[in-house]
């Protein structure tokens, strides 16, 4: 069978399973999730064996130590994966809940009921834990999913699919609800994202190149984010200690992720007392500072920032720093260089906090808290399948509820239009 | 200037205006809307003069009487347009409302605030009233809009843009918030929908060919519906009089619209008493019946239905009719041939009503009411810019709220991630 025919068959089966799954009750879905959580541990020998082969092949292929680390599983990581699946089982099922109901003048009762999206195509890179995370979230929200992970993780992903499959069958749900594409061929991505008759949405998660390829070639709607160029604006009214703690956390706690701070904007009215100790602390933590001319006056060790530093997502211990003369200049900078991902203000001024919340057009806008909180778990969604920086459908982190749509339901007594 | 450069300039101006508009308060937006409503009447001579030229040119070009009727304006129609704009002014402004707020264990307060989508591209055919309807809805929801209407209505649309522009200026809002592309060239559509740096979403409204072109060529997200193949299932427990009134209304009251019934499914347990008088009544109203073999037994005057009748959107006084042996068969038929638009059940059975609401995967699902209620006004959204039959973003009719996204807002006291 050709690759095209194989993937189309999978998608057709996924659509058929979606019809069953959208009417499957919560208890049955949770039964499969709990079983999956248990099986990840019970079958760990098999999973680790397959993963070890992936790791060996990747090492032979010359993958970087960082990449190998992302790929490698061990009992502790499997325990984390099993726990994550169990947590999804414990979340509230969004499907079937009615978000408001109202009565029309003609007596019609109209409400909106949450329903699954249908069939999700999920394309990601080489961390096998994402396989079970995504599978669990899709199942919880009543969606079937076709997974295409990085080729380096193929054996691991197939082993995890087998565990998912058994858990689905155990709960009486079609095995086609969770399918991993059984090939490492890259053309599979292009084939999958063109199947507009079967897929309702595609979610790519990975580097900018992957996201761009999917966005430009998909024939179905795409939920994605390109990058996080996150800003913190330290207002002149900020408490300096609080500002330093939050800024340090946002940059240093985990610099390689999309919600880490990339640019620090500082009101010139506080730059004297705040900026020098802040930059010294960053320096001590190994952060390279790329500063505007005013920053260089205060902290001559900084590298002069160039234009390309302002829209940059460093994902590293590098920070662009700019002193601004007022809040307008900070907002202007964010509007021009930001990526609509995450922005925070540090302030003690009520009006400025309100203005920042109202005017900044990003998926998460914070007052006096670290940008690192842009995360489905941290914001209380329970879990997340990704962060969407296009405003359509769901802006920001997407949990189980964001994997649903709403349909209108109408209770009548024979009403007609006149 | 090339067409490309001109449209890109418009889009750039629309994006700039969007930044202003998203922070513009409700009173100012409503001031512009009320002024627009008044000016449509006050400037009717100019609008009607330009429209008359459109109509003359269209008649000379051989447009059908039905198309000419859609194009032509008169004082009564302008009054309807002005009233529609005034009604939008009276709706609640969705922007800035916070849909829930919750406290995290670390003390963070997290909420979701409604914000405009940004810049909307709106592409439609030759009814000039759609120009002011769409402009008003976009303005109310804080979005700027670039409009591309049918070439036959170009003079009318430019006259209406002038009225919009004056109303915006009167309220102190950038004139770039509502722009009509000043050309009848069809390439303008392809250019507009590729501008992913400036547009947040494209909404096409019109025939299937237009929708398909936009969907296949857009580089920005698209909200659209192809067609409405709407079903009514008359269950064996239906009250026959109620069933007849609703079915008659759904087919005959306005057969040319997307929420009219196209296929009637009848439980065989009621087909004897319900179907013959129903089809006789349809016959009398000039409805052509295309029936399954069992329908033909009951009503021999029917045309035998062929396979292509079941997925057909007739938009005319034609009705496909099928007798089914049970509810499963009806649901199966809808799943196979439906367009996820609008489906209704007529029943007196509680369990069947609940099952139908839960299992049918359409944007509006009704019990004992006409499919004709799938409409933003009728369902209580105030107004609609279109109906979306893809599940992403908003499923079903889209009112002002559906032209917004939500961002997360977070109130902290120095929280950091550990």
Single out the residue of A73, A70, A68, A71 nearest to residue A48, CA to CA: A73
The answer to whether B338 touches B231, Cβ cutoff 8 Å, is yes
Residue of A21, A24, A328, A412 to mutate when probing chain B, most B C-beta within 10 A: A412
Residue B185 makes CB contacts below 8 A (sequence gap 6+) with B3
- Using CB atoms and an 8 Å cut-off, which of residues 3-32 of chain A contact chain B? 19, 22-23
The answer to whether A153 touches A68, Cβ cutoff 8 Å, is no
Q: Which of B353, B362, B413 lies nearest to residue A407, judging by beta carbons?
A: B362
For chain B, what percent of residues have pLDDT higher than 90? 92
Alpha helix ranges (H) inside A311-392: 327-337, 350-359
**B96 touching chain A per CB within 8 A:** yes
The pLDDT of residue B15: 96
Look up residue A196 and give its DSSP letter: T
Min distance A182 CA to chain B CA atoms (Å): 28
Residue A232 makes CB contacts below 8 A (sequence gap 6+) with A246, A247, A250, A261, A263, A264, A265, A343, A344, A345, A346, A371
Min distance B365 CA to chain A CA atoms (Å): 5
Min distance A27 CA to chain B CA atoms (Å): 16
* Residue B207 reports pLDDT greater than 90: no
The answer to whether B364 touches B341, Cβ cutoff 8 Å, is yes
The answer to whether B194 touches B218, Cβ cutoff 8 Å, is yes
Tell me the per-residue pLDDT of B374-390, one tens digit each, with 9 for 90 and over.
Answer: 999 999 998 899 999 98
The pLDDT of residue A225: 79
The pLDDT of residue B407: 98
pLDDT, mean of residues B201-222: 90
The answer to whether A158 touches A184, Cβ cutoff 8 Å, is no
CA distance A160 to A54: 13
Task: Judge: A245–B416 Cβ closer than 8 Å, yes or no.
Answer: yes
Tell me the per-residue pLDDT of B317-362, one tens digit each, with 9 for 90 and over.
Answer: 999 999 999 999 999 999 999 999 999 999 999 999 999 999 999 9
In the three-class reduction of DSSP (H, G, I as helix; E, B as strand; rest coil), residue A41 is classed as: helix
- Using CB atoms and an 8 Å cut-off, which of residues 342-371 of chain A contact chain B? 353, 357-359, 361-370
The pLDDT of residue A88: 96
User: Chain B residues with CB inside 8 Å of A378's CB?
Assistant: 104, 417
ipTM for the predicted complex comes to 0.94
- CA A292 to chain CA mean position, Å: 32
Q: Tally DSSP H helices, then E strands, for chain B.
A: 15, 16
**A411 touching chain B per CB within 8 A:** yes
Task: Judge: A412–B102 Cβ closer than 8 Å, yes or no.
Answer: no
CA distance A277 to A279: 6
In the three-class reduction of DSSP (H, G, I as helix; E, B as strand; rest coil), residue A355 is classed as: helix
* Residue B1 reports pLDDT greater than 90: no
| Cβ-based neighbour number of residue B70 at 10 Å | 19
User: Chain B residues with CB inside 8 Å of A242's CB?
Assistant: 413-414
Higher pLDDT, B220 or A31: A31
Element (DSSP H or E) covering residue A17: helix A3-22
The pLDDT of residue A95: 97
The answer to whether A228 touches A197, Cβ cutoff 8 Å, is no
The answer to whether A382 touches A400, Cβ cutoff 8 Å, is yes
Tell me the per-residue pLDDT of A121-166, one tens digit each, with 9 for 90 and over.
Answer: 999 987 899 999 999 999 999 999 999 999 999 999 999 999 999 9
Beta bridge partners of A303: A290
User: Chain B residues with CB inside 8 Å of A405's CB?
Assistant: 391-392, 395
The answer to whether B323 touches B293, Cβ cutoff 8 Å, is no
Can you give the pTM of this predicted structure? Answer: 0.93
Which DSSP string corresponds to B145-210?
EEEE--GGGHHHHHHHHHHHHHHHHHTT--GGGEEE-S---THHHHHHTT-TTT-SEEEE-S-HHH
Residue matched to tokens 């858990």 = A167
pLDDT, mean of residues B228-244: 97
Could you tell me the strand order of the sheet in which B119-123 lies?
A: B178-180, B144-148, B119-123, B201-204
* Residue B208 reports pLDDT greater than 90: no
Q: Which domains does chain B have, with CATH numbers?
A: 3-224 (3.40.605.10), 230-378 (3.40.309.10)
Buried b (16+ CB within 10 A) or exposed e, B374-392: bbbebbebbbbbbbbbbbb
Residue pLDDT tens, chain A, 418 long: 899 999 999 999 999 999 999 999 999 999 999 999 999 999 999 999 999 999 999 999 999 998 899 999 999 999 999 999 999 999 999 999 998 999 999 999 999 999 999 999 999 987 899 999 999 999 999 999 999 999 999 999 999 999 999 999 999 999 999 999 999 999 999 999 999 999 999 999 988 889 989 988 898 999 987 789 999 999 999 999 999 999 999 999 999 999 999 999 999 999 999 999 999 999 999 999 999 999 999 999 999 999 999 999 999 999 999 999 999 999 999 999 999 999 999 999 999 999 999 999 999 999 999 999 999 999 999 889 999 998 999 999 999 999 999 999 999 999 999 9
The answer to whether B30 touches B92, Cβ cutoff 8 Å, is no
pLDDT, mean of residues B118-129: 93
């Amino acid at each position: 069978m050709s690759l095209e025919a194989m993937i189309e068959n999978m998608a057709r089966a996924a659509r058929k399973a979606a019809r069953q799954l959208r009417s499957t009750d919560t208890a049955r879905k949770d039964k499969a999730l709990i079983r999956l959580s248990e099986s990840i541990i019970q079958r760990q020998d098999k999973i680790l064996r397959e993963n070890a082969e992936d790791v060996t092949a990747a090492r032979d292929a010359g993958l970087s130590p960082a990449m190998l680390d992302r790929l490698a599983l061990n009992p502790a990581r499997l325990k984390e994966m099993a726990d994550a699946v169990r947590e999804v089982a414990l979340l509230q099922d969004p499907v079937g809940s009615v978000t408001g109901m109202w009565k029309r003048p003609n007596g019609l009762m109209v409400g909106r009921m949450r329903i699954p999206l249908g069939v999700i195509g999920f394309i990601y890179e080489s961390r096998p834990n994402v396989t079970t995370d995504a599978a669990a979230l899709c199942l919880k929200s009543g969606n079937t999913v076709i997974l295409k992970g990085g080729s380096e993780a193929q054996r691991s992903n197939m082993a995890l699919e087998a565990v998912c499959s058994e858990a689905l069958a155990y709960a009486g749900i079609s095995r086609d609800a969770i399918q991993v594409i059984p090939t490492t061929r890259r053309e599979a991505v292009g084939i999958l994202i063109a199947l507009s008759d079967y897929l309702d949405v595609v979610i790519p998660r990975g580097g900018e190149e992957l996201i761009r390829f999917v966005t430009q070639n998909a024939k179905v709607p795409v939920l994605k984010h390109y990058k996080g160029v996150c800003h913190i604006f330290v207002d002149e009214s900020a408490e300096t200690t609080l500002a330093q703690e939050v800024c340090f956390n946002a940059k240093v706690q985990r610099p390689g992720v999309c919600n880490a701070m990339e640019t620090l904007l500082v009101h010139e009215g506080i730059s004297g007392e705040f900026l020098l100790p802040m930059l010294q602390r960053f320096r001590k933590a190994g952060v390279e500072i790329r500063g505007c001319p005013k920053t260089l006056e205060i902290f001559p060790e900084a590298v002069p920032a160039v234009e390309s530093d302002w829209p940059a997502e460093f994902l590293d211990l590098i920070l662009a720093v700019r002193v601004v003369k007022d809040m307008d200049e900070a907002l202007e900078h964010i509007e021009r260089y930001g990526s609509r991902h995450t922005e925070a203000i540090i302030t003690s001024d009520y009006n400025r906090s309100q203005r920042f919340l109202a005017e900044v057009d990003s998926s998460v806008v914070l007052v006096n808290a670290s940008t690192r909180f842009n995360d489905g778990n941290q914001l209380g969604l329970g879990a997340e399948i990704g962060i969407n920086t296009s405003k359509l459908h769901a802006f920001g982190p997407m949990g189980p509820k964001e994997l649903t749509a709403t349909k209108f339901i109408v209770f009548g007594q024979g009403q007609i239009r006149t």
